[in-house]
Structure 1
């Protein structure tokens, strides 16, 4: 009987340890752009709501500038990228870096703003200085849309800066125009509402080119070798982001405070309204394979302006098992 009791006690001591071991979250390191950026939009929500832990992960988000992000992701220093734009994924592939777009987070939207009265159209930017984060896909997509309007981006004098610097350029009127996107656009207009936004005809140009209005733009990507080795982790990562997006949509006011903790109440209110409308934000979490047709259209746009020298491989569009 004593031996039986001892065995039960030992078993009771072992079970919590085994359970804790089985439930230990898997550590992941994901590189993202620093705020304000779309890549930095959902991570603070994931961490604050513990959505990574809920899905068995322990995610560490590492912020980088766009140029550093691309270099460190492509080199494999980071196996996962949470500011993965489709065209940079496609370009990495054609240059021999085998990466894959796991899932989409945001559809494309971009803008050009100006305070100069002589600039009324995108073509008026020819011969003028334009502040932009030239290392981003948003700029490349802007290049494509500008060409659809008859402008020649080769005649723009581009002042390259990191994404956090774009708002400063616009506020100080240090350039004739500034090319930017959300959430920086909304933050800028909350501070300087008299900025004019040039008509980019995004929906019409894309519809004419592809027959669709959906433009997959930014999501989460990884190296193909990592994806093949860690297939069981990918649905968990997708779930963390998907649940974060759903929580943001359901709690825009609270979400804006998490996303922009140091901002003014007016800035946070503007971000909450951006979330509610979602027309410019374009939050749209979907598996890459579910928007494969649209992704190939983005590749075609990049190839048409010689950003992509060749067609990216089909493996750049991750197909989740069972889909």
Structure 2
């Protein structure tokens, strides 16, 4: 016989089950290697961490800063499964060398430039036989090489002084080389400190339009080892969401974002970064899935082949196809 006591006990158990707290799922821990500041790869991480956008999307991200050469070596070796300063051509090159990696999503389109304090340097061709300070290990330099050739310069005649990305601004400020090749945010930081320095036009829009028929140049984003991406499609989606939200916040709060991005900069530096974000012409912030810019990515690969940076077409798998697409 079922007694009243039985029903009372059952009710108590039910109440305990309902009132028991549900343990939240622990965030997935990810480690991402990035370039140190100033660099595009170091642009969004401080925003993600300051606003806990990783935790909002179920992640706990640790960003590890490296120089360009160390970044490439440690990412390609698999020491890091995720890279947040993934230049597209570096991804393509790794694939042609047997490293199976994939470009998950784009963060920034290409922009680069050359600056000089020397009045006799008016065009890129004037740099033939002269010294040029550059971070030669970056694919921004490789892309610059392509554009310089389109402008008629013989880049083999440049005497390149190789330095790490953070050293480029110092070279330009001290006038230690005839010219310096650099990009954002270093370019804006430099101009806030030395507004009179001259910029040499490298004809980006015109040359790219002629070569591809498009003005979009996917350049730098987030990449992963293919096996990791295949195993963790849900984490890839969460990672994209965190970066996408960070980019949207930066675009709508440029002055506040500048204080996070240039945290060690002067008020003038931060003001310049805020203006850079507002304009977005040189910054080129453009967060999109790789598969959404597949045609443009293939054009970048073609440019890399044309100057023998790539000796073969990278595998289509280097362009990440997210689930449901």
Q: TM-score range by the shorter chain?
A: over 0.9
Aligned partner (choices 67, 70, 79) of residue 68 of structure 1: 70
Instruction: Tell me the secondary structure at the aligned position of residue 182 of structure 1.
Output: coil
Aligned partner (choices 289, 293, 318) of residue 320 of structure 2: 318
Name the CA distance, whole Å, in 2 between partners of 1:26 and 1:261: 27
Question: Does residue 11 of structure 1 match 2:11?
Answer: no
1:275 maps to: 277
Instruction: Tell me the secondary structure at the aligned position of residue 83 of structure 1.
Output: strand
2:306 maps to: 304
| TM-score, normalised relative to structure 1 | 0.97
1:265 maps to: 267
Aligned partner (choices 267, 272, 291) of residue 293 of structure 2: 291
Aligned partner (choices 199, 210, 225) of residue 208 of structure 1: 210
1:74-111 C-alpha deviation (Å, 9 max, x unpaired): 00000000000000000000000000000000000000
Larger-Rg structure = 2
| Residue 9 (structure 1) shift | 6.3
Alignment of 1:155-304 (within 5 A): 155-304=157-306
Name the CA distance, whole Å, in 2 between partners of 1:249 and 1:232: 26
1:144 maps to: 146
| Structure 1 unmatched runs, 5+ | none
Instruction: Tell me the secondary structure at the aligned position of residue 153 of structure 2.
Output: coil
Aligned partner (choices 85, 92, 108) of residue 87 of structure 2: 85
Name the CA distance, whole Å, in 2 between partners of 1:219 and 1:162: 20
| Residue 118 (structure 1) shift | 1.1
Name the CA distance, whole Å, in 1 between partners of 2:244 and 2:303: 28
2:58 maps to: 56
Name the CA distance, whole Å, in 1 between partners of 2:299 and 2:125: 24
| Residue 3 (structure 1) shift | 3.5
Instruction: Tell me the secondary structure at the aligned position of residue 29 of structure 1.
Output: strand
- Runs of 4+ off more than 6 Å: none
Name the CA distance, whole Å, in 2 between partners of 1:4 and 1:164: 67
Instruction: Tell me the secondary structure at the aligned position of residue 61 of structure 2.
Output: strand
| Residue 4 (structure 1) shift | 3.4
Name the CA distance, whole Å, in 2 between partners of 1:3 and 1:156: 86
| Structure 2 unmatched runs, 5+ | none
Question: Does residue 102 of structure 1 match 2:104?
Answer: yes
Instruction: Tell me the secondary structure at the aligned position of residue 96 of structure 1.
Output: coil
Instruction: Tell me the secondary structure at the aligned position of residue 103 of structure 1.
Output: strand
